[in-house]
Structure 1
Amino acid sequence: MNTIFARGPSLLSRLILASVLSVTLMVLDHKLDSFSSARVFLNSLVSPLQYMANMPGEMLSEASKALTTRQQLLDENARLTQANILMSEQLQRLNMLKKENDKLRRLLGSPVRQDVRKVVAELMAVDNNPYSHQIVINKGALQGVYEGQPVLDDKGVVGQVMQVGSTNSRVLLIADVTHGVPVQVMRNGVRAVVSGSGQIHSLILNHVPHSTDIREGDLLVSSGLGEVFPEGYPVARVKQVIRDESRPFAHIEAQPVAELDRLKYLLLLWPADAPERSTDEEEAANG
């Protein structure tokens, strides 16, 4: 039976022929470099296909790098934000400590008399009675505190001790209606008595004749009379003078120099003739 298509060489013959042809071409290419131009042409022809085949991998690699970089930036931003918050909190504490240190320095350096004994006390509580202005401090009989002792802040007179406990004391502020301080005008030495009005930012000068030379802005300092407050400590500054001839006395208001609504550290003063306590006694009393 005749077939339509004649059968060619066998598969083994084809393999042998292809092998011999390949070896011959490799030898010729190696010895004579006959196919260099053809190789360059084929490489140029296949190059776009290689780029296309490699493109998905490159895209995935770049995307991975972008995601990694973005995550690193997010992590770094979170870390820096936390560090900034911590540094801000530390800065706030340092600022507060600096202000407290400045106040303590002013307390210890502000008194007119440098030779008197003085102790720094700290505010413990504020009386919540709206009709009384009193505070509690953390120094008492163990530190030598006594009734009637003058109390100052870094700007001026605050009040005087009215009750003494073993480890704390109650202070009556100069704004209390029951409190009075003998004062004199710094400008001309005119004497008067300044009393509390019941308002934390206001004091009253009582029984001042119309002819008395007191002006708005005058600084009132302790006169030393009464032997409670030593002479020369700032008490208040005159803020209003009303001379109404229909009244027997002038109406004069003053504002305390001390910041009575912002007290924290206070200074206790002893008389000039009070004996100095030794360092060991101070540490034992404070300890």
Structure 2
Amino acid sequence: MKPLFTQGPSITARLVVFALASILLMTADHRTHHLEALRGALSVAVYPLQYVVDLPVALGRWVSETMTSRHKLLEENAALRTRQFVLRTELQRMAALEAENLRLRALHESSTQIDGRILIAEIMAVDLDPYKHRVVIDKGADDGVCTGQPLLDADGVMGQTTHVGPLSATAMLITDVSQATPVQINRNGLRAIAVGTGATDRLRLPHLPNNADIRVGDLLVTSGLGGRFPPGYPVARVSAVRHDPGRPFATVTAIPTAHLDRSREVMLVWPKGHACGADSAARTAPAARTRP
């Protein structure tokens, strides 16, 4: 009876045969290079298999690099956003400082035209009542400030102090409904009273006859009457003149020259001969400078 499985060469014999065949092939390839074409064909044949085997590794490497790059880009983007915010904040601060410098320069240039002592103050608070136009400044009796003292900005009269504390003072603006400022037309000297309307951009001049010589664009300056304001300071510029034949008086409105709703720095003035200047001369010497 034949066995089901015939026994072939032993494993050792086959190993020896394959080893000898490998040595012979390597020797022949090294000397004659006849197997280059076969090697190239085999490389082409096994390339898809190599690509498939290497694909998971390459995919993992690509995902890792992509995630790392995305994380790095997100970090750089966040850092750039933070830097941009800081730079914008610094730019706004620089713009504010530049505007403040311009205002202070304008105040300084205006102060050279004032005959008397001056003191620069800053507005601390504004009354929110639409009819009570009052501000609080950071200078008071300790700085020589007194009640009734004129308050100006770089462009004209703003008002006068009404209450003075040791460290601060309250001033009423010229547009307050209870404020009346004696003025005169700079062009011809015609006197009038500028009365507050409750609006920061408008004054009215009541009781001017229809035949009064007043025109749109006329500059109104303080007349000095009543001793409340020294003469010659700009107050407003006439914006409208209306003559009504049925009324005895003309309707005249004017726009204040001072920036009542924007100024932050103001000047307190001690004009020569003003009662406030005489009473506070000793106290204001360190804080205010004297004009020749």
What is the TM-score when the length of structure 2 is the normalising length? 0.83
Q: Which residue is equivalent to 1:110?
A: 110
Q: Which residue is equivalent to 2:30?
A: 30
Q: Which residue is equivalent to 2:213?
A: 213
Inter-CA distance 112–62: structure 2 relative to 1 (3 Å threshold): same
Q: Which residue is equivalent to 1:147?
A: 147
Q: CA deviation at 1:238?
A: 1.5
Show CA shifts across 1:5-64 (max 9, x none).
643333322223333333333333334444333323322322333233223322332233
AA aligned opposite 1:127:
D
Q: In the alignment, is residue 265 of structure 1 matched against residue 265 of structure 2? A: yes
Inter-CA distance 129–36: structure 2 relative to 1 (3 Å threshold): closer
Q: Which residue is equivalent to 2:241?
A: 241
AA aligned opposite 2:262:
R
Q: Provide the alpha-carbon RMSD of the alignment.
A: 2.8
Query: 8 Å contact 1:112–1:232 — kept in the other structure?
Result: no
Show CA shifts across 1:197-256 (max 9, x none).
344333222332222110122221123333432333210121222223333322222222
Distance 1:81 1:219 in 2: 51
Higher mean C-alpha displacement, 65-74 vs 99-108: 65-74
Q: Which runs of 5+ in 1 are unaligned?
A: none
Distance 2:51 2:28 in 1: 31
Q: Which residue is equivalent to 1:176?
A: 176
Inter-CA distance 44–196: structure 2 relative to 1 (3 Å threshold): closer
Q: CA deviation at 1:131?
A: 4.7
Q: How many residues align?
A: 283
Query: 8 Å contact 2:242–2:250 — kept in the other structure?
Result: yes
Secondary structure of 1:108 counterpart: helix
Superposed counterparts of 1:190-229, under 5 Å: 190-229=190-229
Secondary structure of 2:87 counterpart: helix
Secondary structure of 1:226 counterpart: helix
Higher mean C-alpha displacement, 121-130 vs 132-141: 121-130
AA aligned opposite 1:57:
V
Distance 1:246 1:127 in 2: 39
Q: Percent sequence identity over matched residues?
A: 43
Inter-CA distance 121–246: structure 2 relative to 1 (3 Å threshold): same
Q: Which residue is equivalent to 1:282?
A: 287
Query: 8 Å contact 2:155–2:257 — kept in the other structure?
Result: yes
Q: Which runs of 5+ in 2 are unaligned?
A: none
Inter-CA distance 104–201: structure 2 relative to 1 (3 Å threshold): same
What is the TM-score when the length of structure 1 is the normalising length? 0.85
Q: CA deviation at 1:115?
A: 4.7
Q: Which residue is equivalent to 1:90?
A: 90
Inter-CA distance 134–17: structure 2 relative to 1 (3 Å threshold): closer
